Amino acid sequence: MGMKATVLNVSIDNVTMAEALDKLEQFIVTKTPHVVATANAEMVMLAQKDSELAEILAKADLIVPDGAGVVWAARYQGYTMVERVAGYDLAQNLLAQAAVKGYRVFLFGSQPDIVEKAKMVAMKRYPGLCIVGTRHGFFTAEDETTIIREIAELKPDILLAALGVPKQEKWLAKNLTKLNVPVCMGVGGTLDVMAGAVKRAPLWMQRTSLEWLFRLLCQPQRAIRMLALPKFALKVMLRKKD
C-alpha cells in the first residue's frame, strides 16, 4: 500500500487497482462499515468550497485516484502516483470478485429503468453474482428511513450508490452506521454506463487521458462541469509555488 498523496487538501490513497481491491476485500472480511470515494478533479474542486464534503473525504476509509487530473496533480507535486484507478473499473472488478466470492451486492441510485438494466447487465457479465436488491435514486426525506431499513435488512457486503457527487458521499457518511454495509462506495454514473445509457470513451482515449474530451463531445452540456479541470490545474500549479 503506497503513501497518501495530498491534492488541494484532499488526501488520496496512492493505490493500484489490485491494492484497492485487496483493501475492499479486507473491509468485507471485517464486517464493519466503510466509506469509499473515487476522487476526480471535480470532487477535489467541490471539496474546496464544501466543508461537509471535505470532512467526509478526510474520514473516508479509501479514496482512489479516479481521474487523469488527480493523477497528474499528484505527480506534478512530486508524489509517485502509480496509476489511475477509475471508479467504473473498480466497481466492475469488485462485482467480478463478488461473483466469485459470493459477496452480496445492493445497487442504489439512478433512474428505475437504468438501475434494473444495470442489474441485468451485471448478472449476465458476472455469472453467479448475488444482487440482493436495487433501489432507484429518487426519494424524499420521508423515504429515507424505509430505504435504509430495506438495505440493512438485506445485509449486503457491498452498496454501490449512484446519486452523484457529493450527494452520494454525504448520504453514505450520514447513514453509515445504520446501513452497516462493509463497502459503501459512491459510483456516480457507473450504473448509467453499465446500462448503456452513457457511453464510455474508447480505450485509446482513456489511456491517453482524453476521456474528458470524449465526454464533452458526447454531452456538450457537460462544458460547465468540464471548466473545473483547467481551474483545478491552475489551482494546483499556483499552490505549488507557495
Q: How confident is the model at residue 242 (pLDDT cuts 50, 70, 90)?
A: low
Q: How confident is the model at residue 215 (pLDDT cuts 50, 70, 90)?
A: confident
**What tens digit of pLDDT does each residue of 78-131 get?**
998 889 999 999 999 999 999 999 999 999 999 999 999 999 999 999 999 999
8 A C-beta contact, residue 218 and residue 210:
no
pLDDT of residue 220: 80
pTM reported for the whole predicted model? 0.92
pLDDT at 224 over 80: no
Which residue, 91, 65, 56, is CA-closest to 189? Answer: 91
Helix axes 41-49, 228-241, angle to 10 degrees: 70
Complete domains list, the chain, with CATH: 4-194 (3.40.50)
pLDDT of residue 241: 62
φ, ψ of residue 49 to 5 degrees: the values are: -100, -25
Rounded Cα distance between 111 and 163, Å, is 10
Rounded Cα distance between 170 and 140, Å, is 15
Rounded Cα distance between 37 and 150, Å, is 23
Rounded Cα distance between 66 and 9, Å, is 16
